[in-house]
Amino acid sequence: MALINRKEIENVQLIVVKVGSKIIAPQENDAHIARISSLAQNICVLINGGIKVILVSSGAVANGRAVLGLSQKPKTISLKQTCAGVGQIEIMNLYRTQFDKRGKNIGQILLSWDDLRDKKRYLNLRNTLFAMLENGIVPIINENDSVCVDEIKIGDNDTLAGQIALLSDADLFVALSDINGLYTDNPKTNPTAKHIAVFSFDEAVNAGAAGSDVGTGGMATKLRAAETVCKAGITAIVGDGCNNDLLSVINDCTLGTLFCPQRKKMNSRHRFIAFTGDIDGVIRVDKGAMDAVISGKSLLPAGILEACGVFDEGDTVSIESGGAVFAKGITDYSSAEIDKIKGRKSSEIENVLGFCRCDFVVHRNNAVIVL
């Protein structure tokens, strides 16, 4: 019998699973330990069946609070980081105990935005993850909350998990929460809200469910993460991991919402350009240039209205028209050079600049549509 029996996600080879704080936050009846045991069991079943799994786990601060005897969320950054440092050890010990029972090794990776946005670190992280997976190790990832400051803070593990799905070229992204996915309204406040089993982001829906008292997410961050991975061609599922096991959420359409990918899978380079790397500036273009880029053509100087910010050749820029970003790409000209050639024909570049690096400003192979 197949481990995954839904036709929308056949032939899955790599899954990124995100576990919310409420699922593994300490409870008096030790329900969190039973959930961690179930999660480890399901992950091991998947691995033994030939499917690789990366786990992104929240819960460090919540577990640190329990160890330190705090009844409320820490209100200062330093205390929160203290809880994270203490709690990270606790949750890794819990995971290690459960995976040891099943003969699997685990590896810890703590990350900040700097680790994802810097191309060299991004590639090193990618290589490390693949090495762990090839050696039968379950990577367990969390944000490095004990040292992160606002400038490098990711902010929530839904976003982090989505980025890991992009980086690892996952086939499926699963976010386990305390709710059965997406509803037509907030089911915690509206008992008539209807569950949505399959969702496309072309549809509009009210998804304003609030986060729990132990987490920082909520349905909004899960939706953003799901939309990001779907734009990259990865299927997403958001489901109830408090009351159900991982495999049930994946296979049973009543226990979660499956988000359909919006296009074919992007390659790793395009995913980095579109969703992860730093944006160094903006190129504003007219509608004709926008239509040309969307249709798969390179961005030429004739359609450029202005360059905003200071950036160099080889930097990543947003490309916008009418105030909306529709693409991102790597520019072959600096902002200063673009200021001189904007609105001109490609044949004029050499006369204006004294050289012609190329006839286009952003080549079609270096442009990614993000609508």
The pLDDT tens digits of the residues spanning 218-260 come to 688 889 999 999 999 999 999 999 999 999 999 999 999 999 9
Domain count, the chain: 2
Q: Decide if 80 is inside a domain.
A: yes
Q: How many CB atoms lie within 10 A of CB 130?
A: 15
Q: Residue 335, SS3? A: helix
More confident residue, 156 or 253: 253
In this model, does residue 216 exceed pLDDT 50? no
Q: Please check whether residues 266 and 287 belong to one and the same domain.
A: no
CA distance 172 to 10: 10
Low-confidence winner among 137-151, 226-240, 259-273 (lowest mean pLDDT): 137-151
Residues with Cβ within 8 Å of 235's Cβ and at least 6 positions away in sequence, in order, are: 8, 9, 171, 172, 173, 229, 258, 259, 260, 261
Strands (E), the chain: 14-19, 52-57, 105-111, 137-143, 172-177, 182-183, 195-196, 198-199, 235-240, 256-259, 281-285, 304-308, 316-321, 324-330, 367-369
Q: Decide if 56 is inside a domain.
A: yes
Q: Decide if 2 is inside a domain.
A: no
Q: Please check whether residues 30 and 162 belong to one and the same domain.
A: yes
Q: Please check whether residues 295 and 262 belong to one and the same domain.
A: no
Q: Decide if 50 is inside a domain.
A: yes
CA distance 236 to 176: 11
Domain that holds residue 303: 279-369
Q: Decide if 1 is inside a domain.
A: no
Q: Specify the CATH number for the domain of residue 344.
A: 2.30.130.10
More confident residue, 304 or 151: 304
Residues with Cβ within 8 Å of 324's Cβ and at least 6 positions away in sequence, in order, are: none
Q: Which of 64, 55, 58 is nearest to 20 (CA)?
A: 58
Q: Please check whether residues 192 and 121 belong to one and the same domain.
A: yes
Q: How many CB atoms lie within 10 A of CB 145?
A: 25
Q: Decide if 263 is inside a domain.
A: yes
CA distance 32 to 240: 14
In this model, does residue 2 exceed pLDDT 80? no
Q: Please check whether residues 297 and 250 belong to one and the same domain.
A: no
Q: Please check whether residues 253 and 298 belong to one and the same domain.
A: no
For the record, the structure tokens of 310 come out as: 């200071």
Residue 198 identity (one-letter amino acid): V
* Percentage of the chain exceeding pLDDT 70: 92
pLDDT confidence of residue 7:
85
Strands (E), 9-122: 14-19, 52-57, 105-111
Average pLDDT for residues 161-189, to the nearest whole number?
A: 90
Q: What is the CA radius of gyration of the chain?
A: 23
Domain boundary among 220, 245, 270: 270
Q: Please check whether residues 134 and 255 belong to one and the same domain.
A: yes
Low-confidence winner among 143-147, 222-226, 321-325 (lowest mean pLDDT): 143-147
Q: Please check whether residues 283 and 266 belong to one and the same domain.
A: no
Domain boundary among 270, 291, 323: 270
| Beta strands 316-321; 324-330: pairing state | antiparallel
Q: Please check whether residues 75 and 200 belong to one and the same domain.
A: yes
In this model, does residue 215 exceed pLDDT 50? no
CA distance 211 to 105: 32
Q: Specify the CATH number for the domain of residue 36.
A: 3.40.1160.10
Q: Which of 347, 370, 361 is nearest to 285 (CA)?
A: 361
Domain boundary among 270, 290, 314: 270
Q: Please check whether residues 240 and 344 belong to one and the same domain.
A: no
Q: How many CB atoms lie within 10 A of CB 356?
A: 14
pLDDT tier at 268, thresholds 50, 70, 90: confident
- Signed CA dihedral, 118, 123, 127, 130: sign only: positive
Q: Residue 137, SS3? A: strand
pTM: 0.85
Average pLDDT for residues 136-144, to the nearest whole number?
A: 93
Q: Decide if 193 is inside a domain.
A: yes
